[in-house]
């Protein structure tokens, strides 16, 4: 793994050196650079390919909050950890609300490696989730295009079949066209990774492409002639039957459901179907089925992890506000006893 690239926004070189030593002690491999002015910060953001920023809150030439705004404007995905000697809880809350990832006191520097690892993990999870969403959007576009090609190929076949009542010479030409079209259609279907299927109006499977064996362990011969309901989770059947009826009414409604593979494993699938007609009579459904199990499991894991991180963040901010409130109450009680205030609280 390449070293992480850490940008120190710090006016004291010795503080940046101590922080880097502590990070290396915590098992973090890094390369770093330090800036202490707004101009140097802007140049470093352009040239350094920063993975994470450690920023002092108080500096003589500009403040940590000003630096935070500059970094967020450049790239809001860069984690920023405030690293300061100030022990003001309200400052910590202000930084977190402004978008800082964490707030570390310099006299508690041993917590720094943990905070850096956690910030990078949050960043990686966010990027993974965004990438997964992009891949899903691309996949849906490809499936929609494929479904359009299948519909077009099917319609072409039906149009050719309607020409069979023409004169003998025209019929021969039509038969050749039909045969070529069906061969291209079959070649397209049998080489897809997704499963193409046809179902009669009573739910009997009338065709399934060879890809079903790799996806679910069944050969086409094992499925053709059986009812499609044997492949789905019983708890999902009401939803699936409703979708079946909607499609028979002419709606094209992609859906995501759970299926049982031959070995009993639960698989998540995405289906997109359309009606098959002969004239005006509906004879059944035809569609494409895609195994999306890995994506579903990845989404569930990502959602769980992000929920855990959000709960941790809420607890952290709540704790800071509670500490401020308690200190105010102690000061008030001391004042009633004619004693000096114990805690200095900046409003």
Domains annotated for the chain, with CATH where assigned, are: 4-123 (3.40.50.2300), 193-291 (3.30.450.20), 299-347 (no CATH)
Cα→Cα distances 317→95, 100, 195, 307, 314, Å = 11, 12, 49, 16, 5
* Least confident interval from 29-33, 80-84, 181-185, 225-229: 181-185
Question: Of the segments 2-16, 154-168, 297-311, which one has the largest average pLDDT value?
Answer: 2-16
First CA to last CA distance, the chain: 45
Position 107 scores a pLDDT of: 83
Q: What angle do CA 152, 154, 157 make, to 5 degrees?
A: 110
Task: Give me the pLDDT at residue 106, please.
Answer: 85
Entry pTM:
0.41
- pLDDT of res. 133: 77
C-alpha radius of gyration, the chain, whole number = 32
pLDDT of 252 strictly over 70: no
* pLDDT-derived band at 178, boundaries 50, 70, 90: very low
- DSSP per residue, 127-153: HHHHHHHHHHHHHHHHHHHHHHHHHHH
Least confident of 69-83, 122-136, 147-161, 320-334: 147-161
Give me 51's structure tokens.
């993975």
320 with 93: CB under 8 angstroms?
yes
């Amino acid at each position: 793994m390449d070293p992480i690239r850490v940008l120190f926004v710090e006016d004291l070189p010795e503080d940046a050196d101590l922080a880097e030593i502590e990070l290396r002690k915590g098992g973090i491999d890094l390369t770093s650079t330090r800036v202490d002015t707004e101009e140097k910060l802007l140049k470093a953001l352009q040239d350094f390919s920063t993975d994470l920023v450690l920023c002092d809150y108080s500096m003589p030439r500009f403040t940590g909050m000003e630096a935070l705004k500059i970094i967020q404007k450049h790239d809001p995905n860069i984690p920023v950890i405030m690293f300061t000697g100030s022990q003001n809880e309200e400052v910590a809350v202000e930084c977190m609300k402004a978008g800082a990832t964490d707030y570390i006191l310099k006299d508690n520097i041993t917590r720094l490696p943990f905070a850096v690892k956690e910030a990078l993990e949050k960043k990686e999870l966010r990027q993974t989730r965004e990438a997964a969403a992009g891949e899903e959007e691309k996949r849906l576009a490809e499936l929609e295009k494929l479904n359009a090609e299948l519909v077009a190929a099917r319609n072409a076949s039906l149009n050719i079949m309607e020409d069979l009542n023409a004169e003998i010479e025209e019929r021969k030409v039509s038969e050749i066209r039909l045969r070529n079209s069906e061969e291209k259609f079959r070649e397209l279907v049998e080489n897809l990774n997704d499963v193409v299927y046809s179902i009669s109006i009573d739910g009997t499977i009338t065709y399934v492409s060879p890809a079903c064996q790799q996806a679910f362990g069944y050969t086409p011969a094992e499925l053709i002639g059986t009812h499609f309901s044997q492949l789905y989770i019983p708890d999902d059947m009401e939803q699936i039957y409703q979708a079946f009826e909607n499609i028979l009414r002419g709606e094209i409604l992609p859906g995501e459901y759970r299926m049982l593979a031959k070995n009993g494993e639960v698989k998540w699938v995405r289906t997109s179907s359309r009606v098959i007609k002969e004239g005006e009579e509906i004879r059944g459904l035809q569609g494409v089925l895609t195994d999306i199990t890995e994506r579903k499991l990845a989404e569930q894991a990502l959602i769980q992890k992000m929920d855990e991180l959000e709960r941790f963040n809420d607890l952290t901010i709540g704790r800071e506000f509670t500490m401020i409130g308690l200190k105010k109450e102690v000061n008030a009680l001391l004042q009633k006893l004619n004693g000096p205030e114990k805690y200095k609280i900046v409003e």
